[in-house]
């Protein structure tokens, strides 16, 4: 049975299911705690510096503590070993003198050994060597395997290995633990007239162990105190650097929000003070340039508005004269008749251009009003399609409408009809005579209208320019609709005015699509569109390639800010009027941001 099958069978057991349900809240809490820690780690420079300092300091303190402990233990054992050897030499001399005529095979050998050890301990305890080496115990025994064993003292605490390896003229040492007590055992051979004796001194290491424990506890406590002090020092030092950075970030955010008089406080003459001075100089320069640009923009808008208004009077006069000529065109010569027809056609286009310029100037000035009312969007889209049916007939283009009834929204019908009319006329212009599809669908929060053509499409990067004023995909292409070049620019501003989106997609040879998404209610929030922007087949192929089908342009609602991952607001407005904001595809996005920056996939 495979591991997967075994896991599935175990998961079906009632006890496992109950345990899983019981551990569910704990897993959720652990996941939330992990997410909170990860967010704090990403957002706090001070936390990262303090934790990094603690981690490195802990490694340094640990290595230093181990080195110190090893060095101290080695020094203690070395000192103990030197004192033990000195004591062993002194004791060997005493015993050789005491046992110079000793024969272990005689009667009373045991008492002789006991008296010798007693005399040894009484003599050595009063000497300088004994005071240096501390307490010790002595043991005497005949060699193993050389007749009956005669011993005195704690000979059973000496290992047979050490006794068997001990040879005349050499000194052996061994650490041996008996009953939880560790001893340093020093062995030597004492030559007697009879059989040789093995002499051992046992030095308990209790004092050295206590010293090592004291050193270890001191190192641990000192290391913890040192880490706490290092953490406090790192926090204080980092705070001195992070606090000016936070203040600079707050000032920069307020400056970006329109408070152009915000400046950083300059304290001292260090690097932070130089940063504050440089920032203040930059902010002053930017404020001056922004004020200058605003003044130029106001002058430009005023000029456009004034010129548009001033042109209306002569245009009206010219219109009246053109209408008179056009009405009597049958009485004119053929060349003059054609001239009167061209004059009326161009005057119509001129009036449309003036109307669009006035509308653009009102949108730029922010005085455009939204006459919202509750409407059936399908009826408005049908009226817009009917308005361009003549243009579609001239181009030989079929209009395919898929407009379900009952999609109610709060919107300005005049502006919505103008948006759809511009989109359909643009699709007819570039549809190469192929059918133009107008599809509508809705969800509880929004309603979307997609105008799709199957013409020349858009080259990569052109979807970023399609909403620019007077921009044309092909300079040599003539417009069948006689447009002014401002239709899509006005449409995108109308979409923003509703709090909706207007997005473009296109691929060379596969046509293009424009999607209008409107909220059900004025001021409603849109997180996704009910209709896909690009074709599903192209979207699937693009997903397989790791790219996107063509390109799309987001149209976030004017004045609505999206939220970044760090919780700070971003300005969704494009960097220039009539254009589109660049996407941030390299940054992690929240769901609402993914909806705003639509790659053309199916939502």
pLDDT attached to residue 423 = 92
**Which runs of E-coded beta strand occur in 65-157?**
137-142, 151-152
3-state secondary structure of 201: strand
pLDDT attached to residue 8 = 64
What CA–CA distance (Å, rounded) separates 532 from 549? 12
Closest to 58 in 3D by CA, of 217, 225, 213, 215: 225
Over residues 366-388, mean pLDDT: 86
Sheet holding 551-552, edge to edge: 399-402, 436-442, 446-453, 511-519, 501-507, 551-552
pLDDT tens, position by position, 572-597: 333 333 333 333 333 333 333 333 33
- pLDDT of residue 428 exceeding 50: yes
pLDDT attached to residue 20 = 66
Q: Which residues pair with 200 in a beta bridge?
A: 139, 187
438 near 402, Cβ under 8 Å?
yes
3-state secondary structure of 203: strand
pLDDT tens, position by position, 273-283: 888 888 888 88
What CA–CA distance (Å, rounded) separates 142 from 122? 22
**pLDDT bracket for residue 420 (50, 70, 90):** very high
pLDDT attached to residue 481 = 52
Exposed (0-12), middle (13-18) or buried (19+): which is 133, by Cβ within 10 Å?
A: buried
pLDDT tens, position by position, 484-519: 677 788 888 888 888 898 999 988 888 999 999 999
Over residues 285-296, mean pLDDT: 84
What CA–CA distance (Å, rounded) separates 429 from 472? 11
CA dihedral 541, 545, 550, 551 (to 10 degrees): 120
If you ran DSSP here, which 8-state letter would residue 125 be given?
T
pLDDT attached to residue 513 = 92
600 near 537, Cβ under 8 Å?
no
**pLDDT bracket for residue 31 (50, 70, 90):** confident
pLDDT attached to residue 287 = 87
Three-state SS string over 497-551 comes to HCCCEEEEEEECCCEEEEEEEEECCCCCCCCCCCCCCCCHHHHHHHHHHCCCCCE
What CA–CA distance (Å, rounded) separates 428 from 397? 7
The dihedral through the CA atoms of 125, 129, 135, 138 has a sign that is: negative
Closest to 99 in 3D by CA, of 152, 149, 165, 146: 152
Task: Determine which of 58-72, 344-358, 409-423, 446-460 has the lowest per-residue pLDDT on average.
Answer: 344-358
- Those residues with Cβ within 8 angstroms of residue 323's Cβ, 6 or more apart along the chain or in another chain: 344
What CA–CA distance (Å, rounded) separates 288 from 565? 32
What CA–CA distance (Å, rounded) separates 576 from 367? 18
pTM: 0.45
pLDDT attached to residue 587 = 34
- pLDDT of residue 13 exceeding 80: no
Average pLDDT of the chain?
76
Q: Where are the alpha helices (DSSP H) in 257-270?
A: none
pLDDT attached to residue 235 = 84
């Amino acid at each position: 049975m495979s591991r997967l099958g075994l896991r599935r069978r175990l998961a079906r057991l009632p006890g496992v299911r109950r345990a899983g349900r019981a551990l569910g809240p704990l897993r959720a809490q652990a996941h939330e705690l992990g997410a909170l820690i990860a967010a704090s780690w990403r957002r706090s420079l001070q936390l990262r510096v303090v934790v990094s300092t603690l981690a490195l300091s802990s490694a340094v303190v640990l290595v230093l503590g181990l080195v110190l402990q090893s060095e101290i233990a080695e020094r203690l054992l070395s000192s103990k070993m030197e004192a033990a050897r000195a004591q062993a030499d002194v004791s060997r001399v005493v015993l050789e003198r005491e046992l110079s005529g000793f024969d272990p095979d005689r009667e009373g050998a045991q008492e002789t050994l006991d008296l010798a050890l007693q005399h040894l301990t009484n003599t050595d305890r009063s000497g300088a060597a004994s005071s240096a080496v501390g307490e010790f115990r002595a043991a005497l025994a005949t060699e193993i395997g050389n007749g009956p064993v005669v011993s005195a003292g704690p000979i059973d605490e000496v290992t047979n290995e050490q006794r068997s390896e001990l040879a005349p003229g050499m000194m052996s040492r061994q650490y041996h633990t008996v009953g939880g007590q560790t001893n340093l055992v020093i062995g030597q051979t004492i030559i007697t007239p009879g059989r040789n004796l093995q002499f051992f001194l046992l030095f308990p290491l209790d004092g050295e162990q206590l010293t090592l424990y004291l050193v270890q506890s001191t190192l641990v406590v000192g290391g913890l105190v040192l880490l706490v002090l290092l953490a406090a020092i790192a926090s204080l030092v980092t705070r001195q650097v992070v606090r000016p950075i936070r203040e600079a970030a707050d000032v920069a955010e307020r400056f970006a929000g329109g408070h152009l008089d915000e400046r950083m406080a300059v304290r001292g003459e260090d690097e932070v003070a130089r940063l504050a001075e440089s920032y203040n100089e930059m902010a002053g320069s930017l404020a001056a340039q922004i004020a200058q640009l605003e003044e130029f923009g106001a002058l430009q808008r005023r000029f456009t508005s004034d010129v548009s208004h001033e042109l209306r009077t002569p245009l009206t006069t010219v219109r009246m004269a053109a209408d008179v000529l056009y009405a009597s065109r049958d009485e004119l010569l053929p060349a003059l008749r054609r001239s009167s027809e061209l004059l009326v056609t161009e005057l119509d286009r001129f009036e449309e251009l003036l109307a669009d310029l006035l509308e653009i100037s009102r949108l730029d000035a922010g005085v455009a009003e939204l006459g919202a009312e509750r409407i059936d969007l399908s009826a408005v889209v049908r009226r817009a399609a009917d308005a361009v049916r003549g243009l579609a007939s001239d181009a030989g283009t079929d209009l395919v409408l898929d407009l379900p009834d009952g999609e109610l929204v709060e919107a300005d019908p005049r502006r919505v009809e103008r948006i759809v009319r511009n989109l359909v006329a643009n699709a007819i212009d570039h549809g190469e005579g192929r059918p133009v599809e107008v599809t509508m669908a809705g969800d509880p929060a929004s309603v979307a209208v997609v105008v799709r053509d199957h013409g020349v499409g858009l080259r990569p990067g052109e979807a970023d320019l399609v909403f620019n004023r007077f921009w044309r995909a092909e300079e040599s292409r003539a417009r069948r609709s006689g447009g002014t070049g401002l239709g899509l620019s006005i449409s995108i501003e109308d979409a923003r005015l509703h709090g909706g989106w207007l997005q473009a997609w296109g691929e060379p040879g596969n046509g293009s699509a424009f999607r209008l998404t409107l909220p059900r209610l004025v001021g409603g929030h849109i997180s996704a569109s009910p209709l896909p922007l690009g074709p599903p087949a192209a979207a699937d192929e693009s997903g397989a390639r790791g790219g996107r089908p063509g390109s799309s342009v987001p149209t976030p609602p004017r004045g609505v800010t999206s939220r970044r991952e760090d919780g700070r607001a971003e300005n969704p407005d494009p960097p220039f009027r009539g254009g589109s904001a660049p996407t941030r595809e390299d940054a992690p996005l929240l769901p609402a941001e993914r909806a705003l920056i639509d790659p053309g996939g199916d939502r």
